[in-house]
Structure 1
Amino acid sequence: MTVSSGDKSTFDPQSTFSCSHEPLLPRPDSSCRNRMDKDTEEHGPVPIHWDATPEDHGHIPIIDFSSYSLLKGAVDEDELQPLATQLVQAFSTVGFVYLRNHGIPAALVSRTFEAADKFFALPEEVKTKFSRPADKSHGWVCLERERVTMERPGDLKEAFNVRPPQATEKLWPSEEVPEFQQASLQLYDKCRQLSLRIIELMARGLNIQDVSNFLSLHDKIGTAANGTMMRILHYPPLPERVKPGQIRCGEHTDYGEITILFQDAVGGLEVQSCEGKYVPAPPIPDTVVVNIGDLMQRWTADKLASTMHRVLLPETEEGQKSHRRSIAFFVHPNKDTTIASLDGSNKYPPIKAGEYLDERLTSTYGGRKSEEKTVN
């Protein structure tokens, strides 16, 4: 299924959020053109609940998602549009939000982290048995194998990718950590459910007329016809010698539509502000971080912002000896979806979602297709 860029009725070009971004390629510059001030001038006060002081979460807003929580029974339609407005406002300026009261059980997240800890603690020769095959995305990715910034050495992290359609029994450590598979797949499905609610609200906030049709472009998440993947990431204590320029995760934007991120208490994520400075995005209890990826910025003709972020090395001795964990759920539309400017502007040439991902991976990895680049 596709959403035609030629039919402007699918998207209101006079949407409430008219702040512009620099074209996706090359990357947006660091000024952001004072997006927040611009929106306030044109449309009145920014409709976001700033629930914490800047010291608590930097420039990233916290949004209460309780009106569309996974735990919500009956949904009040009147509550959805204000929530959609808040989300799109944040995504059109900062590109990142914290969601509170999202409905994914904290116990399930903890259980997945604990199972992953057991896996990552296994000897390397054991983990190697579950390495990601060259032709698949599912499986273990060893330390320093990836680098998301080509100017830096390999990232000081390892990962376990979860792609249900490629997750053969041989690629799960069923004997070593029997609970790992069940916890990971349960969390994957909860993230799938939450991502569909976020996408529906984004469509409402962007004034897309046929929300059901737009949502149906994501109905194959968890199958081979969709590239959505979950990554469980482990950043071990720093080695005695760190290569020049090496960090835990280099500066990057995400490839896909949106990313849902769970952080442990260690933190370390930094997000580029509108002024071009990197500011901390610390873990806040009982929240998830959600950000826009490059594909969504392209799809909305730069209306929504895909923002640079990174994970630096800890500065304190205690931090350098610590383990950091995170879980990132990278959401993509179905591979056969045509990505064309939703406002009918044809700002970027139409491309299939699957082809776009392959093209980005090829340009990054020098002709070698690989797993999702972006990690947090």
Structure 2
Amino acid sequence: MKLSVIDYRAADSAKQFVESLRITGFAVLTNHPINQQLVNRIYADWQAFFNSQGKLDYLFNPQTQDGFFPSEVSETAKGHSVKDIKEYFHVYPWGRIPESLRQDILGYYDDANRLATELLDWVDQECPEEIMAGFSMPLPEMILGSQKTLLRVLHYPPLSGNEEIGAVRAAAHEDINLLTILPAANNPGLQVKTLEGEWLDVPCDFGNLIINSGDMLKEASGGYFPSTTHRVINPKGADMAKSRLSLPLFLHPKPNVVLSERHTANSYLQERLRELGVI
């Protein structure tokens, strides 16, 4: 398996994008509209936030799932018994956000959501009619007005060498949502698992925007679009002393959207959050 690199501005970008999702569950866009200076500023400002004790003033709300999640309550990937080595902040437009960080992070939320909506429209345009017929509504309509689309500011702290045996920054997992939009992190570590079981490094280059399909798209498409396993490995040597930040947008449908005969978006989400141990 090879990750296709697609020029967002190409005449056939939609066709290439959907073909890559179909084959690998991932696609990489170049010449995309996400602003590099904005993302770099967000990384710098949120690094300072994670380095401060002020983050404890925003401890997450278990009911609404917004706010700061410390490493002690971090996710345990499905099928694993050791928590990931990470802390993170869940950003929703309606949720709590430090005032000094609000403008940039919500600006990025809007930009990424706009692009994600366009990419869902590409999927609608390019997937076979028999797959389209299985969707309860057009994919962009599933997220129209959704309050569930999540922007996660992820901080993987430097490693001390005394981490719990078997602990990694993000154990192998699949995403829950329809699509995930991810600008390159400020340090490498993301890997994708091929159909043959090989792990491929995802380039850490801001020119690349990484998109992957999640479990909800797999469910809605009857498995036509795979939800590919990926992970973030621990750094070695001098890189152990470096933090890593990333900024995934998880595109979620409205709760009452029917994904399949088995699930609405809400029933699927609740099932997965229980498996992750965060509710």
TM-score by length of 1: 0.69
Whether 1:155 and 2:84 are equivalent positions in the alignment is yes
Q: State the secondary structure of the residue aligned to 2:248.
A: strand
Q: State the secondary structure of the residue aligned to 2:73.
A: coil
Instruction: Specify the alignment match of 1:115 in structure 2.
Output: 45
Instruction: Specify the alignment match of 1:95 in structure 2.
Output: 25
Matches within 5 A, 1:263-278: 263-278=184-199
1:99-142 per-position Cα deviation (integer Å, ceiling 9, x unaligned): 1122111111112112211101102xx32111111112211111
Distance change (3 Å), C-alpha of 1:294 and 1:189: same
What letter corresponds to residue 232 of structure 1 in structure 2?
V
Instruction: Specify the alignment match of 1:61 in structure 2.
Output: 4
What letter corresponds to residue 189 of structure 1 in structure 2?
D
Q: Could you tell me the percent identity over the aligned residues? A: 27
Give the superposition deviation at 1:149: 4.3
Q: State the secondary structure of the residue aligned to 1:182.
A: helix
Give the superposition deviation at 1:214: 3.6
Q: State the secondary structure of the residue aligned to 2:224.
A: coil
Cα RMSD, aligned residues only: 2.0
Distance across 2 between alignment mates of 1:162 and 1:229: 6
Matches within 5 A, 1:25-64: 59-64=2-7
Which residue, out of 52, 62, 65, partners 1:137? Answer: 65
Instruction: Specify the alignment match of 1:7 in structure 2.
Output: none
Question: Considering only CA atoms, is the larger Rg found in Structure 1 or Structure 2?
Answer: 1
User: In the comparison of the two structures, how many residue pairs are matched?
Assistant: 274
Give the superposition deviation at 1:350: 4.0
Unpaired segments ≥5 residues, structure 2: none
What letter corresponds to residue 172 of structure 2 in structure 1?
E
Matches within 5 A, 1:291-330: 291-315=212-236, 317-330=237-250
Distance across 2 between alignment mates of 1:364 and 1:268: 22
Q: State the secondary structure of the residue aligned to 1:351.
A: coil
Give the superposition deviation at 1:213: 4.1
Distance change (3 Å), C-alpha of 1:266 and 1:172: same
Which residue, out of 199, 216, 220, partners 2:145? Answer: 220
Instruction: Specify the alignment match of 1:363 in structure 2.
Output: 275
1:329-355 per-position Cα deviation (integer Å, ceiling 9, x unaligned): 000122211113xxxxxxxx3421112
Conserved 8 A contact 1:236-1:323? yes
Which residue, out of 223, 228, 235, partners 2:156? Answer: 235
Distance across 2 between alignment mates of 1:303 and 1:150: 23
Instruction: Specify the alignment match of 1:172 in structure 2.
Output: 97
Unpaired segments ≥5 residues, structure 1: 1-35, 37-58, 68-78, 341-348, 370-376
What letter corresponds to residue 28 of structure 2 in structure 1?
Y
TM-score by length of 2: 0.92
Give the superposition deviation at 1:297: 0.9
